[in-house]
Structure 1
Amino acid sequence: MDLFGDLPEPTQSACAVPPAASKSAEEKEDNNLKRKRADLDHGPSEDRGAEELKKVCREGLPVLKGYVASRRGEREEMQDAHVLMPDMTSCLTTDLSALPSQVSCMSYFAVFDGHGGARSSCFAAEHLHHTLAKKFPRIPTGETENLDKLIKKCLLDTFRQTDEDFLKKASSQKPAWKDGTTATCLLAVDDMVYVANLGDSRAVLCRIIMELEGAEGERSSVTLALSKEHNPTIYEERMRIQRAGGTVRDGRVLGVLEVSRSIGDGQYKRCGVISTPDIRRCQLTTNDRFIILACDGLFKVFSADEAVKYVLGVLQEEPVEKREGLTEEAARYEAASQRLASEAVRRGCADNVTVILVSIGF
């Protein structure tokens, strides 16, 4: 099944380079001589051209920043984990020494909601992005048409590898670890966002639209889902579990596990619980304001639209208290993430609550 099938194709990137016009043999020979001389003086012209292209492409691309808030709720242990990497390359110099020539910047944000313990969520938070960086496709210059498919495959392989690595470690323990975790990971490649998720944590995008009435227009927001929940009550998930020999009772796998896809949960893998993520992509625009990544603790007491409107309310209200080293805008996003997590607890959520608020600036 094509996981990209239900989404519109992205528009052609402004960075796309048109194919070179056909040249005569004499012109080609002359250009070859010039390139050879340039290479002797300054290094390969192709490398310089790619670097110049990146500099041009970087202008006008979104800048993503992350703000996180976590609350333990009424649980004895905080089993959530998270990762914030606004600039993925600066954090992963050993795994991702250089971006492909077609890519100017990459960001990574992730929320992991553990169950049965915190070991699986912590393992995924520590290792998944390293595996992603090692597997990230290296594509020859000029070959951009397969980039989406290769990134999709990279994400699928990364989740599979992370699950296998954790299960191997878990089974070697005495007694064996039985932890599991959901995962909602956002990978931004230039202006394209890829969200890979397992389980019931979610990602939603706030997009501002203009509603025209006469000569004047009013700005309003729309909430776009960037993830798909996986639980045993969904027909396709339940059928897969039953075909594998498992059962669903009271909306849970074997009457125990609330999610139908996860990293870890080795004892349920033979019952149809898988680690294959749902992958969705979205091209960011100048109308996009922020993305919320959060575990189900938030969405037990907030609808996606309510969460977006709550954040907008904080961003648009009177100036918030500024912290040293933060701009006013950063202080607003910081306050919005903290207040949203606290409000979830105030509304009666007894679960762990972790919220990542990703601001989008152009």
Structure 2
Amino acid sequence: MDLFDDLPEPAQTSGSVSAVVKAQPQSAEEEKEEERSAKRKREDAKCHADIKEEEEEEKEEERGEIKKVCKEGLPVLKGYVAARRGEREEMQDAHVLLPDMSNCLSALPAQVSRVSYFAVFDGHGGARASQFAAEQLHHNLAKKFPCGDTENVDKLIKKCLLDTFRQTDEDFLKKASSQKPAWKDGSTATCALVVDDMVYVANLGDSRAVLCRMEAAADGQRRPVTLALSKEHNPTIYEERMRIQRAGGTVRDGRVLGVLEVSRSIGDGQYKRCGVISSPDLRRCQLTANDRFIILACDGLFKVFSADEAVKFVLGILQEESMEQRPGFTDEGRFEAACQQLASEAVRRGCADNVTVILVSIGF
């Protein structure tokens, strides 16, 4: 015999219990007890709700405090620029300074507080490619920049930079080929994207970016160290020459087809089929309290200055005691003077090319 045969069906159980409950009369005391119990439950529920609300407010305040601390701990960046035409008939360089790029971005990733952007473009064959890159590249970057609650922001930013350079090059080549006659302009590009305290440098061609970092020496003194944040691209470099030759191009007198001095660029449509590409090299560096400044400059500066010489020249002006005696002396005034004097010194040393220097001060 199945033991479960003795149990009533669920429907019968529910119905019979319900009927019994309804049939039993309640005393006045029981009714009062029920009311008191219900009141206690309502008070407990309200108390729990108040506690939960207070906890949420505390968490929100904590999140706000954390965000505030993060923002206060970020480096303060200020950009200064100096441009000299030199002996050229036309100024073919262009530049962009955006210490706060937030206005260009629809939204930031949840873990990012600030984005800055600085860039120098050295045109050749005309100024149209450099001007186009200066006007469009950071807008393309803003459209592709990661947003929301994303994981692995570092990887996404690197992909964003690669896609941005490709898109900017394609857009310019499309515009250049539609002209009659077609534009043959090209441009180098060196861009520093600073995301909170992490600087990403993407570059094409022979414009360069260097960082001045102060490090303690054995004698206890702080000495400047020059860190390269970019990599030059010219046809004499083995990897660059091999790529050009595999694409059917040649390198003569250190130039692509004996003409173009750089092996990567924006524009230069007539050389793209010869292995000249627009894929930038990417480098990343976390800024620290030991960092003083970044120099972004076209090759006009580095034809007459080594990277170390440029850094020491700027430091010399920043540390110049006589500047403290000048009316209205400020740290900004020091950096502005250093930037202007560095560009002027490059011309004085005999650089006949355009010279553009961006000096980015770093403060914590």
Which category of TM-score, normalised to the shorter sequence, fits these structures?
A: 0.7 to 0.9
- Per the alignment, residue 151 of structure 1 pairs with 157
Cα distance change on mapping 1:344 and 1:136 into 2, 3 Å: same
- Per the alignment, residue 352 of structure 2 pairs with 350
Task: Return the alpha-carbon distance in structure 2 between the equivalents of residues 320 and 249 of structure 1.
Answer: 49
Q: Point out where structure 2 has 5 or more consecutive residues left out of the alignment.
A: 1-47
Q: Does 1:316 align with 2:325?
A: no
- Post-superposition offset of 1:186: 0.2
TM-score (normalised: structure 2):
0.82
Task: Return the alpha-carbon distance in structure 2 between the equivalents of residues 346 and 226 of structure 1.
Answer: 26
Cα distance change on mapping 1:84 and 1:209 into 2, 3 Å: same
Secondary structure of 1:242's match? helix
Cα distance change on mapping 1:170 and 1:37 into 2, 3 Å: same
TM-score (normalised: structure 1):
0.83
Aligned residue among 114, 124, 132 for 2:123: 114
Residue type at the aligned position of 1:359: S
Task: Return the alpha-carbon distance in structure 2 between the equivalents of residues 212 and 273 of structure 1.
Answer: 46
Task: Return the alpha-carbon distance in structure 2 between the equivalents of residues 50 and 240 of structure 1.
Answer: 50
Secondary structure of 1:308's match? helix
- Per the alignment, residue 7 of structure 1 pairs with none
Cα distance change on mapping 1:51 and 1:255 into 2, 3 Å: farther
Q: Deviations over 1:186-213 (max 9, x none)?
A: 0000000000000000000000011133
- Post-superposition offset of 1:55: 1.8
- Checking the alignment, whether the CA contact within 8 Å between 1:322 and 1:328 is kept in structure 2 is no
Residue type at the aligned position of 2:262: V
Q: Point out where structure 1 has 5 or more consecutive residues left out of the alignment.
A: 1-31
- Checking the alignment, whether the CA contact within 8 Å between 2:209 and 2:294 is kept in structure 1 is yes
Cα distance change on mapping 1:53 and 1:35 into 2, 3 Å: farther
Report how many residues are paired. Answer: 317
Residue type at the aligned position of 1:352: N
- Checking the alignment, whether the CA contact within 8 Å between 2:107 and 2:148 is kept in structure 1 is no
Q: Decide which moves more: 327-336 or 106-115.
A: 327-336
Task: Return the alpha-carbon distance in structure 1 between the equivalents of residues 158 and 273 of structure 2.
Answer: 25
Task: Return the alpha-carbon distance in structure 2 between the equivalents of residues 317 and 72 of structure 1.
Answer: 27
- Post-superposition offset of 1:319: 4.3
- Per the alignment, residue 20 of structure 1 pairs with none
Q: Does 1:234 align with 2:237?
A: yes
1:16-35 alignment, distance < 5 Å: none
- Checking the alignment, whether the CA contact within 8 Å between 2:108 and 2:146 is kept in structure 1 is no
Q: Does 1:97 align with 2:106?
A: yes
Aligned residue among 203, 223, 228 for 2:209: 203
1:49-198 alignment, distance < 5 Å: 52-90=65-103, 92=104, 96-140=105-149, 143-144=150-151, 146-198=152-204
RMSD (Å), alpha carbons: 2.4
- Post-superposition offset of 1:34: 7.6
Residue type at the aligned position of 1:346: R
Cα distance change on mapping 1:77 and 1:57 into 2, 3 Å: same
Secondary structure of 1:271's match? coil
Q: Decide which moves more: 352-361 or 310-319.
A: 310-319
Residue type at the aligned position of 1:243: R
Q: Deviations over 1:261-308 (max 9, x none)?
A: 000000000000000000000000000000000000000000000000
Larger Cα-atom Rg: 2
Task: Return the alpha-carbon distance in structure 2 between the equivalents of residues 131 and 236 of structure 1.
Answer: 29
Secondary structure of 1:334's match? helix
- Post-superposition offset of 1:153: 0.2
Aligned residue among 209, 212, 226 for 2:218: 212
- Per the alignment, residue 42 of structure 2 pairs with none
- Post-superposition offset of 1:56: 2.3
- Checking the alignment, whether the CA contact within 8 Å between 1:54 and 1:101 is kept in structure 2 is no
